[in-house]
Amino acid sequence: MACMIEAVGVHRVRAAEEPLLAAGVPLMERAAAAIAARAAQVLRGRQGAVRGAVVVVLVGPGNNGGDGLHAAARLARRGARVTVVQLGDRVHEGGLAAADAAGVAVRRAGAGPEALGLPGAARLALDADLLVDALLGIGATGALRGDAARLVRQLLAADHRPFVLAVDVPSGIGVGDGTVPGPVLPADLTLACGALAPGLLLPPAAGHAPHVELVDLDLDVPAAQPGDVGGPAEGLDAVHRLQDADVPGAWPVPRPSDDKYRRGVVGVVAGTATYPGAAVLTVGAAVRSGAGMVRYVGPAEPAAAVLAAHPEVVPGSGRVQAWVLGPGVDPEDGEQARHVQEALGEAGLGSRGYFAPTGVWGPTADAGIRPVVVDAGALAALPERCAPWVVLTPHAGELARLLGERGETLVREDIEAEPYRWARRACDLTGATVLLKGATTVVVGPGGTFSQAEAPAWLATAGAGDVLAGLLGTLLAARAEEAVQHPGLVVRLAALAALVHGRAATTANPGGPVSASMLVEALPRTIARLITREER
């Protein structure tokens, strides 16, 4: 818990700023001082010196522009050749005065007698050693508009851009939801002022801010628990991201007194005669991530393949602590569909209805309820309402289908454009915890929101999802009783699975191609390194 990154909903940042601003604390000057210092460091690293380096600061109408103007003044005082390009009619007055006093040239973009014109502004920006994006921050609504949008489009069309430093956020991202509603200049470095906005962790916007550093402004943002979920009016309260250093505290390391049952038995319903590989991979991931025992339930052909690959597996149904359902399962396959239904029954779904349709936490779950991972073919078998200990693990196409069956008209691209929104929608509609697979994995549950970005692009490979499902099954089995009681734990374990999954790909073959089988192989040593904190 201790090390995870927290992105803070915009309303919470504003609430934390308010008393400080009222007390006259110069937050903007503090932010600008840190931005200028970091910019100077970048210039020294890239150009050898700040003096004489060419800096262009794109400035918008609000306080984000104010940060940029104050930072411009400080850089000019250090000898940089700074030009501010003002987009729009308004500009932060205090910031403008500071820039003027430091001798910074402030030029308007767009039309007008003294204006640079957009092509002129673009040329100036592209010729800089450092381009500072202070167009919009957390006050942005919708896509960049007007000349700012037109200028950014021109910069995006250029073959080469200078190093871009974004103030607080890359301007124009959906700060609260991670969308990219219009043109956005990708930032080489983003300096988040006071707190990270959710959009810096959520895809696709997070892809425009691959390197984020926090400028600490001593804001007293009350800690949000992972269970906190913002209401629709306020937007997202918090997004969390686990770090490697969180793994030792979160991973269920067995105690000397634990036997195989106490460590957690995972039941797997996966694979068919046509897709035996899914069964082998799912079971293999569960075994190799440290399940006390794995039971495999399925037809003879995949069962034989599973046992040949993993002789420690126990075939057939029996008592388990968590189920993994669906990898490689054809929803039309009568026998596997029946196994899925039986396991869903053990998760308390169907007749017993532990989660009220209002979204209110239902009666205390009894000791017989099992957490369950619902993947691939089993997603079609879900009842209307689930519970937080049911973790759905769709990719974008499967989530589009799942929501389509619940009245939304969507295609995969809609999900990819707004992954948080649609994962949240699926969570609200079903009551389940939803792990949406992607380059960045988003986990949204009644227990909070996480985003994990460890996966290298090589991990987009057949069978990788089966491995994730098996790995998550082991985690849920190890902490089954707590998981049923605490939705916050479920969402955290799902994020933990995504982190370890991504790291295993790098362990398997750092910087190169990886197959799902290699991933399974790499799990034990990846976990060992993470829990002993040797991997950095």
Ligand X SMILES: NC(=O)C1=CN([C@@H]2O[C@H](COP(=O)(O)OP(=O)(O)OC[C@H]3O[C@@H](n4cnc5c(N)ncnc54)[C@H](OP(=O)(O)O)[C@@H]3O)[C@@H](O)[C@H]2O)[C@H](O)CC1
The footprint of ligand X (CB under 6 A) covers 13, 17, 27-28, 31, 60-65, 67, 136-145, 148, 167-168, 193-194, 217, 219
In whole angstroms, give the CA distance from residue 316 to residue 313: 10
Nearest C-alpha neighbor of 252 from the set 530, 536, 535: 530
> Is residue 171 at the binding interface for K ion, with CB under 5 A as the rule?
yes
For residue 512, say whether it is annotated as part of any ligand binding site: no
By a kind-dependent CB cut-off of 5 to 8 A, residue 193 interacts, out of ligand X, K ion, none, with ligand X
- Residue type (1 letter), 155: L
Residue 256 CB, shortest distance to K ion, in Å, is 53
Nearest C-alpha neighbor of 196 from the set 183, 180, 209: 209
Residue 205 CB, shortest distance to ligand X, in Å, is 14
CB-based contact 477:291 (threshold 8 Å): yes
3-state secondary structure at position 209: coil
For residue 139, say whether it is annotated as part of any ligand binding site: yes
By a kind-dependent CB cut-off of 5 to 8 A, residue 28 interacts, out of ligand X, K ion, none, with ligand X
Residue 96 CB, shortest distance to ligand X, in Å, is 14
Residue 198 CB, shortest distance to ligand X, in Å, is 13
Complex with ligand X: residue 146 or 404, whichever CB lies closer: 146
Q: Give the CA diameter of the chain.
A: 81
> Is residue 451 at the binding interface for K ion, with CB under 5 A as the rule?
no
Complex with K ion: residue 168 or 398, whichever CB lies closer: 168
For residue 142, say whether it is annotated as part of any ligand binding site: yes
In whole angstroms, give the CA distance from residue 281 to residue 470: 8
- Residue type (1 letter), 383: P
374 φ/ψ sector (left φ>0, alpha ψ -120 to 50, else beta): beta
For residue 498, say whether it is annotated as part of any ligand binding site: no
In whole angstroms, give the CA distance from residue 390 to residue 339: 16
Tokens at 90, concatenated: 């308004």
Complex with ligand X: residue 25 or 518, whichever CB lies closer: 25
> Is residue 279 at the binding interface for K ion, with CB under 5 A as the rule?
no
For residue 129, say whether it is annotated as part of any ligand binding site: no
CB-based contact 329:300 (threshold 8 Å): no
Residue 24 CB, shortest distance to ligand X, in Å, is 13
For residue 277, say whether it is annotated as part of any ligand binding site: no
3-state secondary structure at position 399: helix
For residue 141, say whether it is annotated as part of any ligand binding site: yes
Stretch that binds K ion, among 7-15, 161-169, 292-300, 315-323 (CB under 5 A): 161-169
For residue 328, say whether it is annotated as part of any ligand binding site: yes
Residue nearest to K ion (CB): 171
Complex with ligand X: residue 86 or 433, whichever CB lies closer: 86
Residue 233 CB, shortest distance to ligand X, in Å, is 18
5 φ/ψ sector (left φ>0, alpha ψ -120 to 50, else beta): beta
Structure letter (DSSP) for residue 425: H
> Is residue 167 at the binding interface for K ion, with CB under 5 A as the rule?
yes
For residue 260, say whether it is annotated as part of any ligand binding site: no
Question: For residue 471, what are the CA distances in angstroms to 268, 277, 490?
Answer: 11, 16, 13
Site for K ion in 311-350 (CB under 5 A): none
In whole angstroms, give the CA distance from residue 460 to residue 513: 10
By a kind-dependent CB cut-off of 5 to 8 A, residue 239 interacts, out of K ion, ligand X, none, with none
CB-based contact 497:471 (threshold 8 Å): yes
Q: Show the binding pattern over residues 55-74: x = contacts K ion (CB under 5 A), - = does not.
A: ---------x----------
CB-based contact 185:209 (threshold 8 Å): no
For residue 34, say whether it is annotated as part of any ligand binding site: no
For residue 64, say whether it is annotated as part of any ligand binding site: yes
Which residues partner with 215 through β-bridges? 193
Tokens at 347, concatenated: 């998760």
- Residue 361, judged by CB atoms within 10 A of its CB (0-12, 13-18, 19+), counts as middle
Residue 146 CB, shortest distance to ligand X, in Å, is 6
By a kind-dependent CB cut-off of 5 to 8 A, residue 57 interacts, out of ligand X, K ion, none, with none
Known binding residues for K(+): 64, 133, 171
Known binding residues for AMP: 437-441, 465
Known binding residues for (6S)-NADPHX: 63-67, 137-143, 168, 278, 328, 395, 466
What residues make contact with K ion under the rule CB under 5 A? 64, 133, 166-167, 171
Known binding residues: 63-67, 133, 137-143, 168, 171, 278, 328, 395, 437-441, 465-466
